[in-house]
Chains A and B, each alone.
Chain A
C-alpha cells in the first residue's frame, strides 16, 4: 500500500494528474516522448482523479509516527489554517513537502519522488504548483495542533480563486527566495492576504545558496510590503533548515478560527474539480456550524440542493470522516454534475437550517479574453463541441458559443479568464483531444455606445456595429505593475509605450530593482506582452495586472483580406493610430514573417540541413486550412495576427 499512498499523495500535492496507471506501477522516470506531452498541474485541469476513494489511514496499521493520528479532532483553538504565498521557483512546493514530511503527514520514504517534473508550461508562465490542501498534526508543548495548508493558484488570471483561498485562511507564509527578492505576483497575493486580514509570516528561503542575501531581501520585504521582518524565518526547505521554526510560528502567530460551531452552517468553497466517477468534488472550509456525512446541503448562490454522500479531509489524500466543524477544512462529494454548480466562492449551508447570509466575496466568473476556435478539419466541429463541454464540466470560467465564418467554417467563440487560461484550454484541446485548431487573435470585450443611446458589449470584432451606428467605443484598461532589474527599465518602458501604455509611476524598490506602473488597454496585453516582457528582461522581470475599468478609445475595426477576400474571423479591433485607414496590402509582409531560414547559407554545398527544415515545413502544411484560393498555414495566420503589433 505504501506505493499507492505515495502515488496518491503525490497526486494530491500536485493536483491535476490526468489519468494515471494503476497505483503502484507508476514510472519513476517518464518514458521518452511522453514526458512533456501535457500540461499538468494546471488550474483548469481535472484534479487528481485517482485520489484514494476510501481513506486507508484511520485503520491502517502503518506506523506510529507523529502525524498518523491527524484525523483526531482538536479544539477549535488548536486549529491553524494557512496558505503559502510564493513566486514560482521560490521553493513553495519544496517547503510544503518538508512540512508534510516533518509532521509525518507523508512518510519520508513516500517523498522520494521529485514531483516538480513536467511543469514546463507553469514554469514558462510563472504559475505556481498547485497543492489543494493538506491537514497536518503538529505537537507543540505537548499540545496537538491541526494545521491546514490551503493552496492558492499563483497566477493573476485566477486572482478571484486566490482571494477565495485566502478567505479560507487566517494566516499565510510569505516565502521569498533569499537570493532573488520579491516578485510582482507575490506582491499582489500578499496584498490580497493583508486585505483579508491574514497574519503574514515572512520566510526567507534558500539561505543555503551561495548567492543568498537574506538581509537585503528582508529589507526589500520591509520596504515594499511594509511587513516587519525582524522575526523573518530563515530557512532552506531543500536542506530542511528552519522547518520547525516555521511550524512553531504557524502555531504561535496565526490566530485560531472563531468558535462558531453552534451557528448555522456556512462553508466556503475554495476549489472544486470534476471526477468522472463521483461527480464534482468540492473543497471547502467550514466557517460556521458543522457538517455531517449524509446532511442535506444547499449551495446558496444557485439554490441547488444535494446530499453530502461523502465528507472528509485532505491529508493530503482524501480521508473520510463523519463530521467537520467550524475551522476545519475538507471535501465533499454529492453527485454534483458540473463544477459550475459548485462555484468557487459559493457558500454551503444546511437545507433545513439555512444561514441568513451567504459569505461575502462571491462573484460570477467573467471572461475577460475571447477568441475564436475553429477546427482545421471541418469534420472535427462536433468533436470540438464535445471536448469543450467536457472541459467546461471542470472549468466554470470557460464560456463558449458557436460561431461561423464564411472563410473559416464552423467553430466557437470562447471566453476565458485571461491569457493563461486561454492557453491552457487551447493546449488541452490540442493535446488531450487531438484537435487541430485555428485560433483567431484574442480580443477583449468592448463596450460600444450606439447612436441610439444603447450600449452593446462586443467581444467579436466581426460583430462590431457599423461605424455609422456607433457613437464611441470603450475598451477595458488594466493597471499593470512590473518589477524589473534596473538594466531593463528602458526596454520595458519602450514596450509599455508601444502598447499604448500610460506611464503612472516608477519607484526603485531597492538600488537595483524598480517597480514600473502603467495603465494600458487590456487588448494590448493579450497577445505577446508577457513573452515580450520576459524576453526583453532576459526573464528577470515579473508582472501583475488588475482591471481598472473601461475607457473610451479611438478604436477602429481592421479587416484583413487574403487575396482580396475579407476573412471576418481575422478582423481585429485596433487603435486608430495603429491602423492605416483604407487599404494597405499587408498580405505579402505577413507572409514574409515566415521567411525564417530562407536565406540560410547552404554552406560548402551542405544542403541536408536545409532540406530537413523544408521537409519539416512541408509536414507542417498538413495543418493547412484553405482560405479563399490560397492555402494559408497556421503560421501565416499567426503572422497575420501579429501584424497589428508589428506592421501597423
Chain B
C-alpha cells in the first residue's frame, strides 16, 4: 500500500542495520482474534467454514522509502538514502531487509501446516510496504520456504506489490524468474501534483516508465493498476484523466481505493474527511460512480467493491478473503485466518520478533477455537456482499438457519424495491422485486426462486456500510 520511492541511488552510505535479535518471550499476549463468546443460536456444521486447510498465503514485506501521508499500515521506513538498488547488485542489500526476511523465514518454518495431506498453496501475495524494494533473491528464498513447508500448486498465483521508481526491467525479470506472475502496481494517480500531495516521491515519469516495464515484461500477463480516489484537491477532471490513462495502459486488473483519512497519519492531522481540500462525500461518491462507469465501459468487471478485472483475471488471492476461506499470513502486522481464528501479528518489529521466538518455542500456537456462529455469519455477510457474486442464500441458510436468512431478506426488502439490493435466481438472473417479495411471503417455499442477493453497482456498493450494518443489526441484535 505504501508505495513511495525515489529513483534509486546505490552509492549512498549505508545505514547502520537495526538488529533484530530474538528475545525471550515477553509476558504479554498478542491474541486478538475474534473471541469465542457464547453463540446464541445452535451451530450447525457449515460447508462455508473451516476446517478447510488454507491454500493461500499473505506475506508482508514492510519496507518503504518513507511513509506516505495517508498510510497507517505497519511499515518500516528505510529512508531515501537506503542502499538498495534495482540494479540487483548483491552488495546493495540493506541489512534491515536481510534481517527481516530471516525472521520471516523463521516464522514460516515454525508454522505448522493445517493439514498433513498436503494441500498446496494456490496463491501467494507479497504485500507491503513496498515489496519491490526487497531484492528478488530474498523474495525467492521466501517462496522456497513456503514451497518446502506447505507445497505450491502446479501454477499458483504469485502476486507482488510494486511501486513506480523502485524497479527496472531486469529486476522485474528476475522476480518473474523466481515465480512471480502477477504485479500490483501502485500508481495511485496520474497527476504530478496529486502524487506529491500524498507524499509519494515518484512522479509521473516513473509511473509511465513502470507501466512500460511491466507491459513489456515477458512471462507477465497479469497485472493490476492501483488507484486512489478522493485525494486532496482532486477534481472530477483529474479523476477522469487517471481512469483514461489507466484504461490506456491496459492492465488486466484495476483496484480503486477511496482515500481513508486515518488518525495518526499526516493526512489525519491536515484534513477532515469531506471537508475542503478533500472532496465532499458527495463528490467522493461521484468519483466512485465515474470509476464504475468508465471501467465497465472499457470491459472490466466490477467484481468486488474496490476491484475491477478483465474477464477471468480476478485476483484469486483476494477472492480467498471475500469467500471467507482460510489463509496463512506471515510477517509484521499481518493477519491470518486459520482454523476459524483470525489473528493479527504485532505491528512493531521488536514485538514481532519476540512473537516469532514464542512461536518457535512452542509457547504460542494458532489454537483452534470454537468460533462464535454469530461472528461467522457477520463475516460471511460482510465479505460476500462486497462482491458482485453476492450472498449465496442457500448456503447461508444451511449454515446459519432459515429464520435468520428470512429476517435478513425481509430487512433488505425495501432496498430490493429501491434497487440498492439485487435478488437473483439460481442462474444469476435478476428478479423483479415483486418476485422476491412473493418468495418471501411463502416461508416454506422460500428459496424456490431467490438464490442470491447482491448490492447493486454502483449505488448499492456505495451504501454497503449502511446495508451491511443493517444486516449486522439483524444477525447480532
Contact = CB atoms under 8 A, between A and B. Distances in A.
Contacts of A622: 473
The 6 A-B residue pairs with the shortest CB-CB distance, nearest first, are A618-B472, A599-B258, A606-B335, A617-B469, A592-B285, A618-B469
Nearest to A621: B473
A604 B60 contact: yes
Interface in A504-543: 532, 535-536
A607 B342 contact: yes
Contacts of A600: 257-258, 260
Given A599-B256, A608-B335, A588 B459 contact: yes
Contacts of B58: 604-605
Contacts of B114: none
Interface in A258-310: none
B383 A607 contact: yes
Taking residues whose C-beta sits less than 8 angstroms from the other chain, chain B's interface range is 35 or more
A20 interface: no
Interface string B276-304: 10001110110010000000000000000
B465 A611 contact: no
B414 A629 contact: yes
A298 B472 CA distance: 62
Interface string A437-455: 0000000000000000000
B273 interface: yes
Nearest to A618: B472
A591 B463 contact: yes
A615 interface: yes
A595 B466 CA distance: 8
Nearest to A590: B282
B230 to A, nearest CB: 9
B410 interface: no
Nearest to B378: A611
Contacts of A607: 321, 335, 342, 379, 382-383
A641 B174 CA distance: 57
17 contacts: A535-B275, A592-B285, A592-B463, A593-B274, A594-B465, A595-B281, A595-B465, A596-B465, A598-B462, A598-B463, A600-B257, A600-B258, A604-B334, A607-B383, A608-B335, A610-B382, A646-B281
Interface centre among A591, A606, A621 (most CB of B within 10 A): A606
Contacts of B461: 598
Most chain B beta carbons < 10 A, residue from A608, A613, A620: A608
Contacts of A592: 281-282, 285, 462-463
A617 B58 CA distance: 29
Contacts of B284: 595
A600 B70 CA distance: 12
Nearest to A586: B282
The main secondary structure of chain B at its interface with chain A is mixed
A604 B58 CA distance: 7
Contacts of A588: 459
B226 to A, nearest CB: 9
A605 B327 contact: yes
Contacts of B344: 606, 608
Contacts of B34: 608
B335 A604 contact: yes
A231 interface: no
A630 interface: yes
Nearest to B277: A491
B6 interface: no
Interface in B337-375: 337, 342, 344
B320 interface: yes
B472 A595 contact: no
B466 A491 contact: no
A535 B276 CA distance: 9
Contact of A536 (B255, B258, B276, B472): B276
Interface in A420-474: none
A116 interface: no
B282 A605 contact: no
Interface in B218-276: 255-258, 260, 272-276
Contacts of B288: 595, 599
Nearest to B470: A621
Contacts of B321: 602, 605, 607
Contact of B465 (A491, A602, A613): A613
A647 interface: yes
B364 to A, nearest CB: 19
Contacts of B337: 605
A536 B277 CA distance: 9
Contacts of B275: 532, 535
A605 B335 contact: yes
Given A595-B285, A636-B466, 17 more contacts: A589-B285, A594-B281, A594-B463, A595-B284, A597-B260, A598-B305, A598-B461, A598-B462, A598-B464, A598-B465, A599-B256, A599-B288, A608-B342, A614-B382, A614-B465, A618-B473, A618-B476
Contact of B282 (A602, A618, A636, A646): A646
B1 interface: yes
Contacts of B272: 535
A612 to B, nearest CB: 11
B379 A601 contact: no
Most buried by B among A595, A605, A618, A646: A605
Nearest to A645: B280
A243 to B, nearest CB: 37
B316 to A, nearest CB: 13
B42 to A, nearest CB: 22
B185 interface: no
Nearest to B229: A599
Contacts of A554: none
A599 B127 contact: no
Given A536-B276, A598-B461, A599-B306, A615 B282 contact: no
Contacts of A604: 58, 60, 125, 127, 329, 334-335
Contact of B257 (A563, A599, A615, A631): A599
B77 to A, nearest CB: 18
Contact of B1 (A601, A613, A621): A601
B330 to A, nearest CB: 10
A595 B462 contact: yes
Nearest to B464: A598
Interface in B443-477: 459, 461-466, 468-470, 472-473, 476
Given A603-B127, A605-B320, A605-B321, A614 B469 contact: yes
Interface string B380-394: 001100000000000
A391 to B, nearest CB: 31
B1 A617 contact: no
B418 interface: yes
B73 interface: yes
A369 to B, nearest CB: 23
A600 B461 CA distance: 12
A596 B335 contact: no
B178 to A, nearest CB: 21
Contacts of A601: 1, 255, 257, 260, 306
Contacts of B470: 618, 621, 631
A615 B14 CA distance: 47
Interface in A228-246: none
A259 to B, nearest CB: 57
A647 B33 CA distance: 42
Nearest to B258: A599
Contacts of A618: 469-470, 472-473, 476
A614 B377 CA distance: 13
Contacts of B336: 605
Residue of B60, B462, B465 contacting most chain A CB atoms (<10 Å): B465
Contacts of A621: 469-470, 473
B463 A593 contact: no
Contacts of B473: 618, 621-622
Contacts of A615: 378, 469, 472, 476
A619 to B, nearest CB: 8
A593 B280 CA distance: 8
A603 B334 CA distance: 9
